[in-house]
Amino acid sequence: MGLWDRIKNELIDIIEWTDDSNNTMVWKFPRHQNEIKNGAQLTVRESQVAVFVNEGRIADVFQPGRYQLNTQNMPILTTIMGWKYGFNSPFKVDVFFVNTKNFTDNKWGTKNPIMLRDAEFGPIRLRAFGTYAIKVIDAALFIREIAGTQAHFTTDEVTEQLRNLIITRFTDAIGESKIPALDLAANYDELSTFITGKINPEFGEYGLSVTKFLVENVSLPPEVEAALDKRSSMGILGNLNQYAQFQAANAIEAAAKNPGGSNPGLEMGMGITMAQQMAQMLNQQNQQNQNQNQQNTNNSTPPPIPGPTFFVAVNGQQQGPFSLQSLQQMVSAGTFTRESIVWKQGMSEWLKAGDVQELTGLFGSTPPPIPK
């Protein structure tokens, strides 16, 4: 084998990259001082872009496909190298493969609680976390702004910077939305869509795009959650008296199932006594509240003073007693006259209604009988 044949064997004639990782964003083809042949084969697979860099300057960008490198498909590099009429000699250039697939399941979350003013709880602190997916939409811009000349660039090297940007925009969006803390869960989709639109222009400055942004949870501090749980429990329990009786019944049943205890009868009795005392206290409180409400009602509206009532003799039968109002209605109906016989408590005998001073006023507007 001649010297030229050995040199030709040292030249690179196949340029490709098969990704065996899940987080590699940029991979530099390892040329190791070897030169690329004129007419070398370049294979760019789906979800890849090949970027040629000559002396630190981005030249040609190749989309997915198979290429035989020559002056026709490397117009920028041809201009830079001064190949006006074609070339036959090998050349040196850095080749970067950029992964353009979706990088999913990137985590984001608040390192410190977000201070907010809530309409229901007042000043509160919230924590939030979720996931997002990104992809490279401009390979040349991404290399220029983020990856630089690194031979191997992964998502771990960029997610921290992106996470800080997400948290800043998320905090601002939550503060501006004025959504009550208890209503945030019903607005996760709206928040995700809003924040995606807000951060995408800034991601675009790095050649990236946010393809999915998800808010998985927004939570209150543990002490606030504990207080909220107690408040919810009170609403669920409802009638505390019935709940105490229910708890007492459960205690009796549990004691009956535990005959191996030190003194089941004593424990049962103590449980019953405590339950009864609790129920009694609740009943007393309810009674006091009812009495207070009744007293307030009595104080605001004095009870009416009852008037005298009379019995009336009708066909030898005692009827009544009737109030003055009822007797007035009977006068109007013509069933009660001055000649009607009446009696009330304190009278010694039955008298005609017209002879009772308290009843004379009932007949003042009634005309006397028509003379025959």
pLDDT at 365: 56
Closest CA to 42 of 24, 60, 21, 25: 60
Q: Are strands 12-15 and 36-44 parallel, antiparallel or unpaired?
A: parallel
Tens digits of residue pLDDT in 81-96? 888 777 777 888 899 9
Query: Nearest 10 degrees: CA dihedral of 252, 257, 262, 268?
Result: 10
- Give the pLDDT of residue 1: 44
pLDDT at 68: 92
What residue ranges do the domains of the chain occupy?
3-99, 103-223, 238-285, 309-363
Rounded CA-CA distance 134/180 in Å is 30
Q: In the chain, which residues have pLDDT < 50?
A: 1, 3-9, 263, 265-266, 268-269, 302-303, 305
Position 234 scores a pLDDT of 62
Confidence at residue 134, expressed as pLDDT on a 0 to 100 scale: 93
Say how many C-beta atoms besides its own lie within 10 A of residue 297's C-beta: 9
Q: What's the pTM?
A: 0.57
First and final C-alpha spacing in the chain: 164
Fold that domain 103-223 belongs to in CATH: Tetrahydropterin Synthase; Chain A (3.30.479)
Looking at the domain 309-363, which fold is it? Dna Ligase; domain 1 (3.30.1490)
DSSP string of 316-329, one letter each residue: TEEEEEEEHHHHHH
CA distance 103 to 82: 39
Give the residue among 350, 353, 295 at the shortest CA–CA distance from 328: 353
Question: In this predicted structure, what is the pLDDT of residue 208?
Answer: 93
Model pLDDT, residue 248: 65
Q: How far is CA 246 from CA 79, 239, 266, 356, in A?
A: 89, 11, 20, 64
- Give Cα separations from 86 to 35, 40, 52, 212, 367 (angstroms): 17, 14, 18, 46, 138
